[in-house]
Chain A
Amino acid sequence: MNNKLYEYLLMLGDNSMILGHRLSELCGHGPNLETDIALTNISLDLFGQVRSYFQYAAEVKGGEFTEDTIAFLRKDREYRHVLLVEQPNEDFGHVIGRQFLYDSYHLPLLKQLTESKDETIAAIAHKSVKEARYHLRFSSEWVKRLGDGTDESHQRMQKAIEHLYPFIFELFQETDIEKEMKELKIGADLSRIKEESMTTIGEVLADATLKIPESAPRMAKGKTGIHSEHLGFILSDLQYMQRAYPDMQW
């Protein structure tokens, strides 16, 4: 049981961490200062969540585990995030598209988790749900601005959605661990999330004058550890210090 709870916490934490990592790459490179600051706020919120999940995961695991060994010292196969969040910052349209699609899932997820039978998860969700609500508001507004802005921005945003949308289905595919956590009323029911998420996506894209792509879902198995080629490069950054200088205090 503990091992499964641990794995579930990794799924929650890794999504926030890899998405936060992608956003942190942009710090100092945003389209203007206001937007740069706003995106970094989201990244900081996500890393705050990561720390809560991993501190708890370390507690669950016991022994020598810490938030940092969990964040930095796993092998690539042991990361449990979905492929959506590791998609690169192709342009600002992709950044916003990725954020929006994830937020549309993240908010209903956290809403459910506030009711989790696991008190620590419920407490983390209680704090994070407010952050996610703001993130969704922010990203939805930007999807509308870019979708219904200029011709160029419309085309770019549509292109970003075409690329990213097929990745969202992985979020709703229930793994064995998610099923078990749902049954124990620790985890969330993905089918309920899907319903809310798809409604949000439909409404916002319509407002943004964007088309929902008809392309088939991408084959994606991030939750079980099979990732795209992007992850290796992310980890070579993320893990650089801990790998190059092992067993030190920082």
Chain B
Amino acid sequence: MKKKEWPLFEVFIRSKNGLEHRHVGSLHAADSDMAMENARDVYTRRAEGVSIWVVESRHIMASNPEHNGELFEPAQDKVYRHPTFYDLPDELKHI
């Protein structure tokens, strides 16, 4: 019988209040309670965070890079979504 391995978790940390959580890495834990403790011990040894999220890696749905063309390229020519698309006189302020 193949041994059961501790599942892989992804760790997200908010480095200080006001900022978003960012992915910092992964670790193994038997369950999410332990993953939280391990994340604290592994990823905040240098006071890197004020809040931790952990999620088991298998619950993350990732986009397929083979679909990158249809997923992301159509957005590239939508220049009218960006402020620089609109011509306004330079002397105009606060707009």
Q: Which residues of A contact B (CB under 8 A)?
A: 32, 34, 37-38, 41, 137-138, 141, 145
**Inter-subunit contact A141/B28 (CB<8 Å):** no
Q: Give the residue of A32, A37, A141 whose beta carbon is less than 8 angstroms from that of B41.
A: A37
Is B33 at the interface (CB under 8 A from chain A)? Answer: yes
Give, as a whole number of angstroms, the nearest-CB distance from A137 to chain B. Answer: 8
**B33/A34 in contact, CB under 8 A:** no
Task: Say yes or no for B37: interface residue by CB 8 A criterion.
Answer: yes
- The answer to the question of B52 belonging to the interface, with a C-beta cut-off of 8 Å to chain A, is no
Do the beta carbons of A138 and B37 come within 8 Å of each other?
Answer: yes
Which residues in B have their C-beta under 8 angstroms from that of A34? Answer: 27-29, 38, 41-42
A141 x B33 contact (CB < 8 A): yes
CA gap between A141 and B29 in the complex, in Å: 13
> How long is the Cα–Cα vector from A38 to B33 in the complex, in angstroms?
14
Q: Tell me if B34 counts as interface (CB < 8 A to partner A).
A: yes
> Across the interface, which residues of B come within 8 angstroms of A37, CB to CB?
38, 41-42, 45
B27 CB to closest chain A CB (Å) equals 6
Q: Which of B37-95 contact A (CB under 8 A)?
A: 37-38, 41-42, 45
Q: What is the distance, in angstroms, from B32's C-beta to the closest C-beta of chain A?
A: 12
Cα(A226)–Cα(B42), bound, Å: 38
Give 3 closest A-B pairs by Cβ, nearest first: A38-B41, A34-B38, A41-B41
Chain B positions within 8 Å of A32 at CB level: 6, 28
Chain A residues within an 8 Å CB radius of B27: 34
* CB <8 Å contact, B34 and A141: yes
Contact: B37 with A38, CB < 8 Å? yes
Q: In the complex, which of the residues B28, B30, B38 contacts A38, with contact meaning CB atoms closer than 8 Å? A: B38
Interfacial chain B residues near A38, Cβ < 8 Å: 37-38, 41
Q: Which residue of A lies closest to B6 (CB)?
A: A32
Q: How far is the CA of A37 from the CA of B41 in the complex (A)?
A: 7
Nearest-CB distance from A39 to chain B (Å)? 9
Please pick, from B30, B41, B45, the residue contacting A145 in the complex, using a CB distance under 8 A: B30
Q: How far is the CA of A134 from the CA of B33 in the complex (A)?
A: 13
A-B contacts, 14 listed (Cβ < 8 Å): A32-B6, A32-B28, A34-B27, A34-B29, A34-B41, A37-B38, A37-B41, A37-B42, A37-B45, A38-B41, A41-B45, A137-B37, A141-B34, A145-B30
Give the distance to chain B from A119, nearest Cβ to Cβ, in Å: 26
Residue of B27, B33, B38, B41 with most chain A CB atoms under a 10 A cut-off:
B41
Chain B nearest Cβ from A158, distance in angstroms: 20
Q: Which residue of A lies closest to B35 (CB)?
A: A34
Q: Considering only CB atoms, which chain B residue lies closest to A34 in the complex?
A: B38
* Chain A residue with the shortest CB-CB distance to B5: A32
Residues 1-45 of B, flagged 1 when their CB comes within 8 A of A and 0 if not, give 000001000000000000000000001111001100110011001
Chain A residues, Cβ within 8 Å of B30: 145
- Using Cβ atoms and an 8 Å threshold, which residues of chain A touch B29? 34
CA distance A138 to B41 in the complex (A): 11
Q: Are B37 and A141 in contact (CB under 8 A)?
A: yes
Tell me which residues across on chain B come within 8 A of A137, comparing CB atoms: 37
